Amino acid sequence: MSTTLPTPLSNSAGAAALNSAAIQSWKESLAKTARPDWRDFWQETLAMTQRLFIQLQRRPSTLVAGVVQPLIWLVLFGALFQNVPAGLFGESRNYGQFLGAGIIVFTAFGGALNAGLPVMFDREFGFLNRFLVAPLASRYSIVVASALFIASLSLLQTAAILSLSALLGAGLPNFLGLVLVLAIVMALVLGVTALSLGLTFALPGHIELIAVIFVTNLPLLFSSTALVPLDFMPHWLQIVASFNPLTYAIEPIRYVYLHPDWSWSSLVLQTPFFNVSLAACGVVLTIFCAGSLALIQPLLRQRMA
């Protein structure tokens, strides 16, 4: 293939095009402002998020698989346990109703846990260096961009799961209950995305990251109350599940499904050691989220110095 290049501009003409008055005055104003502010943070975050959405738009298979997979879970697991005697799963009328909350949380968790993978590929490919050499207001924009993207996907998935559950006869939480469900999903996604990106910066490559995701994902599912209630488990597993953050996301959702009259003081979980109110679940999730974000700070800073 041979393309004839048009003659390039002369040095001086090229220099004039590069050094326009507009860019010069922008650079002068930049020199005067001390630090980048939150507007800069939003600008970089939104641009990174937009990139992820363009990718999704041009490669929609992730979206399709992401929505279909939890629905398959719902149908298959629901069918598997459908003959379990009533009453075994707490107040839920049937297993399908019980399972909805677990699948919502597990799906959001899985999505967020995988958030680090595309960033790891960017890192391996060298694309991430573009972000690292740029004067970002904060490298948390990389985390927030991923979280925003995953959160949007999770919202779609949650809507699909809620709808299918409703069709299968599980009913729906009331409006405020739905708002609470979304808030819980958001908090979980932000916290887990932060952890996943932390791993992305800490681990040597995508093989290791996939390995960690692999050994984290299902064990956390099975040691939470996603598939069975706490009092169904052996004692040791009850202890593990009482400290599994997923439990604190699942139980409030399950509760608002069953109780339209929920309040912050409603008792949503009884562990072997303590009883947990809905408000307490909120506190646990907030701490988890803030803790994850704080935990990865040194990793984000690592290459700054």
Partner 1 sequence: MVAAIQIKHLKKTYGPVQAVQDVSLTIEPGEIFGLLGPNGAGKTTTIRCVCTLATPDSGRVEVMGIPVLTQPQRVRQHLGYIAQEVALDKVLTGRELMRLQAALYHLPGPLAQQRIEAMIQLLELEEWADQKTGTYSGGIKKRLDLALGMLHQPDVLVLDEPTVGLDIETRSAVWAFLRQLRAAGTTILITSHYLEEIDTLANRVGIIDQGRVIAAGRPAELKDQLGGDRITLRLQEFTTPAEAETARLLLAHLPCVQDVIINAAQGNSLNLLVDRQAEALTLVQQTMATAGLPIFGISQSRPSLDDVYLAATGRTLIDAELAAVGQRDLKREKKQAMKGG
User: Among residue numbers 7 through 26, which ones bind partner 1 (CB under 8 A)?
Assistant: 8-9, 11-12, 14-20, 22-24, 26
The Cα 272–Cα 231 span in angstroms is: 9
- Point out which span in 92-100, 124-132, 239-247, 286-294 binds partner 1 (CB under 8 A): 124-132
Minimum CB separation from partner 1 for residue 136, in Å?
Answer: 7
- Point out which span in 109-117, 118-126, 211-219, 249-257 binds partner 1 (CB under 8 A): 118-126
Structure tokens at 161: 């799961």
Are the beta carbons of 66 and 88 closer than 8 angstroms? no
Give 277's strand partners: 267
Output the DSSP codes for 147-210.
Answer: HHHHHHHHHHHHHHHHHHHHHTT-----HHHHHHHHHHHHHHHHHHHHHHHHHHHHSSSHHHHH
Residue nearer to partner 1 on the CB measure, 43 or 275: 43
The Cα 151–Cα 174 span in angstroms is: 21
Binding mask 196-215 for partner 1 (x = CB under 8 A): --------xx----------
Minimum CB separation from partner 1 for residue 189, in Å?
Answer: 23
Spatial CA neighbour of 108 closest among 212, 161, 185: 185
Asked if residue 304 binds partner 1 (CB under 8 A), the reply is yes
Q: Within 13 Å of residue 138, how many CA atoms lie on the same side as its CB? A: 14
Residue nearer to partner 1 on the CB measure, 47 or 76: 47
* DSSP secondary structure code for residue 233 in this structure: S
Minimum CB separation from partner 1 for residue 234, in Å?
Answer: 42
Minimum CB separation from partner 1 for residue 6, in Å?
Answer: 6
Are the beta carbons of 197 and 146 closer than 8 angstroms? yes
Of 28, 83, 125, 234, the one binding partner 1 by CB under 8 A: 125
Residues found near partner 1 in the complex (CB under 8 A): 1, 5-6, 8-9, 11-12, 14-20, 22-24, 26-27, 30, 35-36, 40, 43-44, 46-48, 50-51, 54-55, 58-59, 123-127, 129-137, 204-205, 302-305
